[in-house]
Structure 1
Amino acid sequence: MRQSAPLLNLRAVSTNSALIAALAQNAPPGCRVTVYDGLGRLPIFNPDDEGEQTPAEALALIDAVSDADDVIVSCPEYAHGVPGGLKNTLDWLVSRDAAVGKSAMLVHASPRSLFARAALAEIMRTMSFALYEDVALEIPLLGKKPPEVEKILAEPANRRAMRETVQVFADCIRRQT
């Protein structure tokens, strides 16, 4: 069984978090999407805190990414960039082997996050994630209230798109291994 470790947004009511949660609920048979929700508990990355000084919260992140078969990231865009909380999360993985060769996919809750997408893809490629850019999912949720988001994510076509995207991603990984 493939296990994905999506990285979750900090906001309590986030369209990206809702999309990740829906991916977990709609994972196809043979795939399990386990949501990592510890971004808000991670201390600010400081290279002096690596090694024996690594905080428990950062170790939990590193273990979650290491134990997962792949990583799925959904990211909002702030000021044409990647939000600081997500960048901080990735920084904790830079000097570890957790990201090296780890299959990763980006999914999107906004068609307008083009700058963040490009920046995030560049960061993840630089970290040696095996970024699958041919496999993509975008469900436009920007500006929607939680009840609208739930309704959109529950639509049969969107549920099917989520299942198919995770399945195609898992199949791509299987062919590579």
Structure 2
Amino acid sequence: MNLLAISGSARSVSTNTALLRGLASVTPPGHTLSVFDDIANLPVFSPDLETAPLPQPVKRFVNLIANSDGLIIASPEYIRAIPGGLKNAIDWLVSRDEIIGKPIALAHASHRGDDMLAQLRLVLSTVSTGFNADIFLRCDLMKKSPQEISRHFEKAEARQLAKTFVKDFIEFCGQ
């Protein structure tokens, strides 16, 4: 199974991107989890640009989604809302078939962010009948470096929680 993890952060040392890389490190054999951390390079969505040819960064993003069996999204909260870059990425998918029915789950790298998560759940349940709000991983990783987050997933309890999350999502994608 080919999973795509999308980071909603444009930061080069993003906590959420590091969380997704941690999930990739516990993905079971026979499955892949690739991390998309290029939200910042997608052009601002415009319906005028949806016709062929799509802008190259958008085409790459859409192809990654089309070739995945499921999506895991992790995102920071900005001013109690979905970051503009992630919302922009989702906007590029709204009138496309690649996202409809695609299994989607959320992971979150903070003990905060409930307002953004509520908005993101609403948006994702609107664009995909495959969104599963019950498969969710929350790790308190705020203010940790990517190296510290990598070490976090070496701890037995954190590793097991991450493995269970990925396993549950793989099972959901296979249904």
Give TM class, smaller chain. Answer: over 0.9
Using the aligned pairs only, state the percent identity. 34
2:99 aligned partner: 99
Query: Aligned pair count?
Result: 174
What secondary structure sits across from 2:2 in the alignment? strand
1:146 to partner: Cα distance: 4.0
TM-score by length of 1: 0.93
CA distance in 1: counterparts of 2:83 and 2:46, whole angstroms: 17
1:164 aligned partner: 164
1:155 to partner: Cα distance: 1.2
TM-score by length of 2: 0.94
CA contact (8 A) 2:3 2:32 kept: yes
CA distance in 2: counterparts of 1:24 and 1:129, whole angstroms: 25
CA distance in 1: counterparts of 2:90 and 2:150, whole angstroms: 29
Change (3 A) 1:146 1:30: closer
CA contact (8 A) 2:20 2:74 kept: yes
Q: Which runs of 5+ in 1 are unaligned?
A: none
Further displaced range: 162-171 or 145-154: 145-154
CA contact (8 A) 2:39 2:89 kept: yes
1:85 aligned partner: 85
> Structure 1 stretches (4+) deviating beyond 6 angstroms?
none
What secondary structure sits across from 2:52 in the alignment? helix
CA contact (8 A) 2:22 2:149 kept: no
1:111 aligned partner: 111
Change (3 A) 1:129 1:35: farther
Further displaced range: 32-41 or 145-154: 145-154
1:26 aligned partner: 26
1:68 aligned partner: 68
CA distance in 1: counterparts of 2:15 and 2:42, whole angstroms: 21
Deviations 1:54-108 (Å, cap 9, x if unpaired)? 2011011111001100000001001000000101111111110011000000001
1:6 aligned partner: 5
1:125 aligned partner: 125
1:148 aligned partner: 148
Q: Which runs of 5+ in 2 are unaligned?
A: none
What secondary structure sits across from 1:159 in the alignment? helix
CA distance in 2: counterparts of 1:145 and 1:37, whole angstroms: 16
1:111 to partner: Cα distance: 1.6
Give the CA RMSD over aligned residues: 1.3
1:173 to partner: Cα distance: 2.3
CA contact (8 A) 1:5 1:65 kept: yes
CA distance in 2: counterparts of 1:26 and 1:66, whole angstroms: 23
What secondary structure sits across from 1:73 in the alignment? strand
More strand per residue: 1 or 2?
A: 2
